[in-house]
Structure 1
Amino acid sequence: MMDENLRPRHIQDHSSAQNLIPHWGYSSRVWPCQNDPGSCEYLDAVYWMHDVSMLYSFILWAVVGGILFVWVLCRLVEPQSNQTKSLKDMQGQTNRGNPQGTVYRAYRFTTTALRRWLLPESLRSVFGRVSRLQLLVLVTLAGYLLIFSLVGIVYKKWVTPIKNSNKFNTRTGLGGFSDRVGVLAYALTPFTILLANRESVLSLLTGIPYHHFNFLHRWTGRIIFIQSFLHTLGWTIIEAKLYQPQPKVYRDFIRQQYMIFGVVAMFFVTFLYIFSTRWAIRMTGYEFFRKSHYVIALLYIACCWGHWTRLACWMIASLGLFFIDRGVRLLRTCLIHHGLKDGKKGLGFKAADANIQTFTDSDGATVVRLDFTHNHDPWAIGQHFYLCFPALTIWQSHPFTPASVPAAHPASPQHTYIIRGLRGETARLSALGQAGEKQTPVIITGPYGKRALNDRIPNLVAIAGGTGISFTLPVVTAALKSPKAQGAIEFVWIIRRTQDLEWILPELLELKSIATASQNTSLRIKIFITRDAEKSFSKPSSLSTSIKDLEKEVKNEDGIEIATTGTDLTALLSQCDGSTRFYVEWLTDHHPAMPAIIDGFIDRVPEGRIQVVASGPSGMGTDLRRAIAERSRADKVWKGDERWDMDLYWDDRMG
């Protein structure tokens, strides 16, 4: 049966209908039409436009599914080089003999050409620091929605008489257009939820870490807001202006239950739009944005369900994706932390106990180093965890990348995190360390993301800015330990002050010994210090910032001694001139140029593809994207010189 609240709009009498023709997602059509010719022609147009809207919403998901299928297929059948000799056996030779197959060279030629055009950033003032590839995906989606919002609309006007009155109703294609954008907004809602999921199906299919979908999530949400606004505006014009008599028609219309749900849904989506803007997040804080976003999004979905129950399938799918994501998060956390509690007193939920070290430089900036061991499966290099600190609050967790390489099973992985104290939770964590606390409990969830180290690419350059070292340090360490390592490895770290070297001093000493132990090693280390002059640290008394007070033995609750190695910066900074494989440069007042770093590495390697992994401030990511795009030469790659085929893995989640 037709809802009573739709009868005035569609001027149909279902009680006396001879036949009812069902229409998916809409009320059944009375047939034959019993109204005046103009009204019958209008009803023909309305139902035809609705059926077309349903078709377009299904096509939208068919296109999304098709793109994902092609993406997965390309990942499965990616051509590989036929080259069998190692780079060590071919040292001093070039690859101009083209041992690769034609299909492989054509594939690499295409990807290099696309990288040259799609990797740089555009329209940064509007979209922020995102690549042209993400903009292309957004433009394609927006173009589809724009075209199919306008195509299939009957652009005609019907002026029909009102029974027992001298007034007329004006009926147009505006109703069909308003319903069209509303239908597409409903169909887009599950996709928007899917883009925001941390336990992401999209990541499993595409290999792209979930946080790279945040840009599309934000903009699809804004598109839904625009569609909702147009839907609301269209029907407001129709019911408050085009239908007569007024104001009775509009008053009866707005009082209906489904319209009340629609008005509240419009309020909620407006709230989501306003409070997800940058200025609103700065004003209210990220945690308010995050928690309010979850709650209001659920209320919006519920009101959409109440507004138009015949399309509840899209809202049910959205709610399912939302709760599955949260449920899997909770399950993973419980599995990681379920074990022996308080020694051998039984099983239960057990947080990890992290050792805290706090470093404060001459600028007053504070960095916290956390170290702990916890029994769970090892993670892939480049993946990250969400950390919650119960001593501060149980309602917040933040993503951090371990700066350590996990031990192989059955050994328990060692977690090391380098976290900059900024605002909110990280500021409270640094204050905890500065107050003298030596340990704090940690609850971890994860891992998330994908493996950053590609064993198929022989040459590696890892570039870190500040606490981005958490991401690049384990990549370099794993590359050195990999039996598949063949090419050159370069490790670049850009920091503000010399004291910042203390964050990972034991690890740097180990890498330095590897780099300088043999002239045949593939590793080179370059450290750039941007706010200190070398002469400021010429004396051992000022150069040597001792961390011997960190030299201690800590017993964990299983009675195992954990020793931290004490040393000082003098040992690290000795023999660090340009003639060695360990190079430190004090720049005093500027940053190194990313193009110069990339050019130097290209000149160093004899042949083979290059992978660039990097993490740091967003400006560094912009410079790297531009530098790599400018140096992606498809013509040289086709001829076999694969040094100009560079993959960039950029991670901007700073600890």
Structure 2
Amino acid sequence: MAHESSSGSTGSSSNSTGTSSGSAATTTTAAAASKNNKANKNAAISKATYDTWYVIAGVTGACMAVYLFSVANAWYIRRRVAAARRAGKAASPPAATTGASVSISRVPKALNAVFANIAYYRVWPLWIWSATSTAEWWWTWAYTGIVLGLGFWGCISNGKLDYANPMGYVAFGQIPLIVALSSRNNVLSWLTGISYEKLNYLHRASGRLCVLTTWLHTLGWFKKGLGKHGPGTNIFLTGMLAAVAALIMWLTSFALARKIAYEFFLISHITMGIIFIVGSYYHWPRLGEWCWVGLVIWAFDRVLATCRMMWVNKVWLMPFSSKRAAHSACTVELVDPDVVRLTVNRPNMKWSPAQHAYITMPGVATLRYEQHPMTIANIQSETGDVTFIIRAQTGFTRRLVHRLTEQKSSDINCYLDGPYGMSHGLNHYDSVILVSGGTGVTYGTAHLLSIMEGSRNATTAVSNCRLVWNVREAANVSWIAPMINEAVAKGLGQTRFHIDIYITRSAASDEPGTAHVAPIEDTATPEYSPSGSTENVNDKGSASSLGDEKYASIAGLSAEAAQLVSWHRGRSHIEGILRSDRSESATDGAGVAVACCGPSGLTLDARRAVCKVNSAGSILRGQNDVTFYSELFGW
């Protein structure tokens, strides 16, 4: 019995042990399954983040293919037409403007014009983001939709929506793109040909998306319950620090804030950006790879910019007092109460028309080595001079004007970092119209000088080039007169050049010393007849349409340069100018190019004019298509 009893006890004990082991095994299996499910969920979320970058790579590759084709096509057109001109072949005659029949072969060009008008040239005013084109809208919402769609795809687990962690992954994945799109040395720009400042809307879109997903992650965890990750823990403190920094960046980046206090925006943006990246890294080190990639991109941009600045300014010679002045000096001229012309001699700097450089003036800046972007007004020459025309606004530019103690100064140190921006050459078009307002003429002047040089060397396809400049006073032309005089003195080749000056603020009697001058023709009406469009404007023997040489004298124009200039009162009627020049343009190049730089109102007028003139019907009847370029005016 004892044995039986013992055996029974042993059996009971064995059953109990078996039950405990089975329960433990079940618990272990359940824990392993839960852990496995969590790992699979995190893998799916991580995959969604990487999928976003596969999409970015694919789109970049497609844009690169289009860019390479456009560059090759422009090179071919320019070479072919220039060679024909050198051989003495006349430009192809303009297409008939009335009575022409529709050509089916021109359907692709007509469709392209319709697409360009809708996608790129027409803009939709926005109260908070200024004027935005349809293409910018589309890319912004497409990118936002793709990223959020892929992110929320990983939010569904066991039939439940859990967006806390997936949105955190999305936020981490935005860091490299945000940094890359804010960099001057932008790899995406090099691959696609789209200048980094024109990709800024995607920088803003990615930034807004990062702020949104950061706060969805934060609020998602508040909703779920923080548990062991509550206040006082490292993960909570670093996470909230990063989230608040992201929110401050967003709140201080609105257009109004940038306009009122740009320097404050810049400093706070950089500071909060660093805090966000560092806070994010310490919040969840497992995703630190995204932070490191962002920092590597930032370091690459800074190192390359520093090396370029050292090369352009020959920094290695600065320790020698005898060399320091020559490689840090500049000439600043006050050409108007609020406008200066800055000339810096930097033979090591090589640039293309309409690129820009960053200016550093330690003696003027609030922060000693702060940098400010300015468009280069001239083209590269053997002298190595780089010229800028700068209007005083607030901050740095206003201090620069106040710093001058006389009309012309050479005692201010200046350092350049550049060039930057993707220059779109215009030498493959039949006709070019450069529309400028105020100091936006730097963009137009650079392209005008480039086409003049190409005409002189017989390397351009442009048969007709017109600069349309809206200025406050006739004397403002003196800002660019030295550069125009020098270019005209070298010769102009076969291209016809016209410079139309529209005086928008004052009548002829308001100008000093011009009381006897005949009234200026007012062409700011729908009917436009361009002056200076004779058979060979470069050999005109008469004075400009003003009927007197007084304005040319005030503007500092040489007698030869004055022959290209026509003076008008009122604002330019861009649509009339475009219709007239297109009807007279040759047809063996790439059509008509309109390039605009100026205040937003002028740019909008130019866009409307292009949309009206660049119609499918006119192109089907043989007229040239119109390509529009817009340069940013301000930052």
TM norm structure 2: 0.79
The match for 1:59 among 44, 51, 56 is: 51
Pick aligned residue for 1:586 from 569, 591, 596: 569
Can you list the C-alpha shifts for 1:277-305, whole angstroms capped at 9, x where unaligned? Answer: 2344456x211221222122112111111
Distance in 1 between residues matched to 2:94 and 2:338, nearest whole Å: 48
Q: Determine helix, strand or coil for the equivalent of 1:353.
A: coil
Aligned to 2:276: 300
1:287 aligns with 2:263: yes
Q: Which amino acid aligns with 1:150?
A: F
Instruction: Please give the secondary structure, in 2, of the residue aligned with 1:136.
Output: helix
Query: What is residue 6 of structure 1 aligned with on the other side?
Result: none
Kindly indicate whether the alpha-carbon contact (under 8 Å) linking 1:337 and 1:349 is maintained by their aligned counterparts in 2. no
Aligned to 1:197: 183
Q: 3-state DSSP class of the match of 2:213?
A: helix
**573, 596, 621: which one aligns with 2:603:** 621
Aligned to 1:253: 230
Question: In structure 2, what is the Cα distance between the partners aligned to 1:629 and 1:504?
Answer: 30
Asked if 1:395 corresponds to 2:363, the answer is no
The separation in 1 between residues aligned to 2:335 and 2:627, in whole angstroms, is: 34
C-alpha deviation, 1:488, in angstroms = 0.9
Aligned to 1:429: 400
How much does 1:200 deviate? 0.8
Cross-structure match for 1:4: none
User: Does the 8 A contact of 1:614 with 1:651 survive in 2?
Assistant: yes
Offset, 1:114? 2.1
Return the offset for 1:603: 2.5
CA contact (8 A) 1:262 1:304 kept: yes
Written as runs of structure 1 = structure 2, the 5 A alignment for 1:509-520 is 509=485
CA distance in 2, matches of 1:32, 1:637: 78
Write the distance in 1 (CA, Å) between the matches of 2:245 and 2:319.
49
2:298 aligned to which of 322, 330, 347: 322
Which residue of structure 2 aligns with residue 554 of structure 1?
A: none
| Greater fraction of residues in helix | 2
For the structure 1 residues 391 and 344, does the alpha-carbon distance in structure 2 shift closer, same or farther, using more than 3 Å as the test?
Answer: closer
Question: Which residue does the alignment assign to 1:136?
Answer: 138
Counterpart Cα distance in 2 of 1:55 and 1:304: 20
Where does 1:279-428 land on structure 2 (aligned, <5 Å)? 279-281=256-258, 285-338=261-314, 341=317, 351-360=327-336, 366-393=338-365, 394-407=368-381, 411-428=382-399
Q: With CA pairs under 8 Å and 6+ residues apart, which has the higher RCO, 1 or 2?
A: 2
Distance 1:596 1:352, change over 3 A: farther
Q: Does 1:178 align with 2:159?
A: no
Partners of 1:63 and 1:321 in 2: CA distance: 20
Say if 1:573 and 1:584, in contact at 8 Å, map to a contact too: no
The answer (yes or no) to whether the contact 1:193–1:322 under 8 Å persists in 2 is yes
- Alignment-mate amino acid for residue 586 of structure 1: R
Deviation at 1:276, TM superposition (A): 1.5
Instruction: Report SS of the residue matched to 1:457.
Output: coil
Unmatched tracts of structure 1, length 5 or more: 1-17, 19-30, 158-171, 241-248, 544-566
**Secondary structure of 2:433 counterpart:** strand
Pairing 1:86-125 to 2, within 5 Å after superposition:
86=84, 89-92=90-93, 94=95, 108-109=109-110, 111-119=112-120, 120-125=122-127
What is the SS of the residue equivalent to 2:300? helix
Residues 1:236 and 2:222 aligned together: yes
Q: Which residue of 2 aligns with 1:34?
A: 27
Cα 1:282–1:337 shift into 2, 3 Å: closer
1:366, CA displacement in angstroms?
1.0
- Residue 434 of structure 2: aligned partner: 462
Once residues 558 and 631 of structure 2 are traced to their aligned partners in structure 1, the CA distance between those partners, rounded to angstroms, is 28
Q: In the alignment, is the contact (CA less than 8 A) between 1:494 and 1:528 conserved in 2?
A: yes
Q: Return the offset for 1:35.
A: 7.1
Aligned mates of 1:654, 1:513 — CA distance in 2 = 33
Letter of the 1:601 counterpart: D
- 2: distance between equivalents of 1:234 and 1:427? 47
Q: Secondary structure at the match of 1:568?
A: helix
- Shift, 1:127, TM fit: 2.6
Q: Hey, what does 2:553 align to over in structure 1?
A: 568
Identity %: 20
SS at match of 1:464: strand
Q: TM-score, normalised by structure 1?
A: 0.76
**CA offset digits 1:117-166 (Å, max 9, x no partner):** 11211142243122221111101101112322333433667xxxxxxxxx
Q: Which residue of 1 aligns with 2:482?
A: 506
Q: RMSD of the TM alignment (CA)? A: 3.7
Per the TM alignment, residue 423 of structure 1 is displaced from its structure 2 partner at its CA by 0.7
Deviation for aligned residue 1:196: 0.3
CA deviation profile, 1:205-239 (whole Å, cap 9, x unmatched): 01111111222212211111111111100110111
In structure 2, the gaps of 5 or more residues are 1-20, 518-551
1:153 maps to which residue?
155
Q: Which amino acid aligns with 2:138?
A: L
Give the 3-state SS of the residue equivalent to 2:335 in structure 1: strand
Q: 3-state DSSP class of the match of 1:456?
A: coil
Q: CA deviation at 1:264?
A: 1.2
Which residue of the partner structure matches residue 555 of structure 1? none
CA contact (8 A) 1:512 1:582 kept: no
Letter in 2 for 1:532: S
Give 1:596 shift: 2.5
- Paired positions, count: 558
Cα gap change, 1:628 to 1:401, in 2 (>3 Å): same
2:529 is the counterpart of 1:536 = no
Of residues 233, 249, 254, the one that matches 1:277 is: 254
Aligned match for 1:452, one of 421, 424, 439: 424
CA distance in 1, matches of 2:316, 2:383: 14
How many Å separate the matches in 2 of 1:210 and 1:41?
48
Which position in structure 2 is the counterpart of 1:648? 628
Cα deviation, 1:422-479, whole Å, max 9, x if unaligned, reads 1111101111225556112210000001223233223211111000111111211110
Question: d(CA) in 2 for partners of 1:208 and 1:128?
Answer: 20
Cα pair 1:45 1:154 within 8 Å, conserved? no
Partner of 1:25: none
Deviation of 1:600 after TM superposition, in Å, equals 2.6
- Whole-Å Cα distance in 2 between the matches of residues 74 and 94 of structure 1? 29
* Aligned mate of 1:268, from 241, 245, 249: 245
SS in 2 for 1:423: coil
Q: Separation in 2 of the partners of 1:110 and 1:152?
A: 40
In structure 2, do the counterparts of structure 1 residues 539 and 281 end up closer, same or farther at CA, with 3 Å as the change threshold?
Answer: closer
Q: Which amino acid in 1 is paired with 2:343?
A: D
Contact 2:465–2:498 (CA under 8 A) maintained in structure 1: yes
Shifted more, 82-91 versus 328-337: the winner is 82-91
Contact 2:333 2:408 in 1 (8 A): no
Q: Is the CA contact 1:298–1:319 (under 8 Å) kept in the aligned structure 2?
A: no
Deviation at 1:68, TM superposition (A): 0.9
CA distance in 2, matches of 1:151, 1:56: 8
Between the aligned partners of 2:329 and 2:311, the Cα distance in structure 1 is 17
In structure 2, distance between residues paired with 1:494 and 1:385: 24
Report SS of the residue matched to 1:254. coil
Distance (Å, rounded) in 1 between the aligned partners of 2:390 and 2:593: 26
